[in-house]
Structure 1
Amino acid sequence: MNAPTTSSRGRQHDVPVVELRNVEKEFETTRSVLDRLLDDPKPAKAVCGVSLSVLRGETVGIVGESGCGKSTLAKLVTGQLTPNRGTVLLDGDPVGGYTTRTDGQLRRVGVVFQNVRKSFDSRWSIQRSLAESFGHEQHSDATVDHVEDLLAQVRLDPQVGERYPSELSGGQLQRIGIARALAHDPDLVVLDEPVSGLDVATQAAILDLLADLQRRHEVGYLFISHDLDVVRYLADRLAVMYAGELVERGPALAVFDRPSHPYTEALLRAIPSDDPADPPPEPLLGSPPVPSNRPTGCPLHPRCSYADEQCERHHPGFERVRDVRSRCHYAGEISDGSRANDRRRGGER
């Protein structure tokens, strides 16, 4: 048997940096008088039985509409939330939330927040914010050198350290957010909508920076976005999320090239094309289910143009289609184009 490979950090390549095993997260909902009488709280199921892993040096993209559970999943990985069921592992060791993780485990995972400007204290200089993130005295020579090195890594002038968040553009502040995430030399960075709200040129620059930093530091990324074009640029593997479930997962190129789940197909149809000869984008009609009132069977069936009685009655398991796993009764037929599609344009049933 071959010995497991080990990185320069002394960690094994074949052990996922982070792994989720059948993770579920529920939230209590506001209970009506009838619910209280019936003792039926109907919790909101934000994440439902998700299994996923991220290896060192790879990018796993999580895509889906707003409210599908992407950000909740990110908080389970970082320890901001703990699962109701299932297990989160770092390097094969089960972990809980922030308060139960060791200092070493906390340093393993960096985070770039969705609203990066709100994640900084407006009263603190950039140098103080970065110094605070690695716990050094903010005016020591070692700390100043460390801050300047982080700024250089994200392609910013060292003098930016003397400025305040209000003096920086969105793109500059996002670079600072990335620098802060790298301050502890983590093995995984969770990126929650890291380029949302930035113009196209700035998005491209940030994505190029992330790719360069990943090559240099061999860091893994869990990249969460609703924008498939953004994820296409960076992701090695793709996981598509709907109503708290992963519905399709596999190598990113394979999923983009031949989707085998109707939801993935619909997300791709909704992307505007640069070619004016292509058909116009076709948004998916209807709305995702309310987490506390999920439909029976496949949760997508009220919006799905392929759905039939089997979809309404039976919740599908994962079916393997080439290198991809898809949670659809007709995954193979959708992938090869043989499934009849009447594409109802009237919205939900």
Structure 2
Amino acid sequence: MARVYLDHNATMPLRPEARAAMIEAMDLVGNPSSVHAEGRAAKGLMERARGQIAEAIGAQAADIVFVSGATEAAALALAGRGLHGAAIEHDAVRSWITEDLPVNAEGRVTVTDPARSTLQVANSETGILQDLPEGLAVSDWTQAFGKIPLAFDWSGVEMALISAHKIGGPKGIGALILKRGLDVEARIRGGGQEMGRRSGTENLIGIAGFGAAAQATQQGLETGRAERLDKLRNILESALDLRTKDTIFVGKGSQRLPNTSCIVTPGWKGETQVMQMDLAGFAVSAGSACSSGKVRSSNVLRAMGLTDGEANCAIRVSLGPDTTEAEVLAFAEAWGAAYDRFRARGR
């Protein structure tokens, strides 16, 4: 079997629809800020993409601000606000918050003051979902977008962060979504692009790919993609459970993203598992991929009450829209064989 990619929460392969849209954008010479015909053509393509994203996420096109990714969106939304959050948030959010919201053993966060808090929809490592309180100041939708239905205008959230490469768009483009009537202070100043919220000539090629990926993602959800991935994840976990009695499937009793499985096998380091699976032809991860290639104990799992030793023994398997049952079962067989060797060595 060819290599099998099971790390879609880190980044999803570029969708063909996104690739086609990006090639179309490459052929446009105009600057979206120019008023001549070439500039208007570029502007039209950009606004078409903005509309595609708005429709896919249930927002208004005018309230979508294009940035370089969810990390920049987090900085734009959070800098200087002193919001409260939890230790399970992504590092891009944790950099700007006070980590004082409690997390229980099921990975759920208690928010007492929504207007002064931030809370993710879905955790990138465990897939555990949160209920968003009305009036929440900021929410990270990066992992949830495209995997479960979302509607920003009905969410009660004031600002949300999203990124293109998590849904099969290109890397280096994302967006901040604002509740109607809200504004943010620009951190990148200059020509006043993006309604004065983020200056700099827009990344037209990336934006075009983002829009096409968002549209394709919405269509996939409407045709039962989430249900199919949920079934595949359950097949995976059942197959692994047959090979071992000491492995923990984090969040199994909670609502989770349909594609995500966080697997902890005490004593068997996650880094070792990732390398062994890589040699066997499978790409998985030992946690979030946004730490410059570092492998470290998961703050998410520690916040849920796992020990440092247990947190060091976690891997994440994240399925994608093209993942097949045969690939899932092949991974389970390869992982099971490696597990048997690990147990045979007595360590």
TM-score using structure 2 length? 0.25
Structure having the larger proportion of residues in strand: 1
User: Which structure has the bigger radius of gyration?
Assistant: 1
Bigger relative contact order (CA 8 A; separation at least 6): 2
Structure having the larger proportion of residues in helix: 2
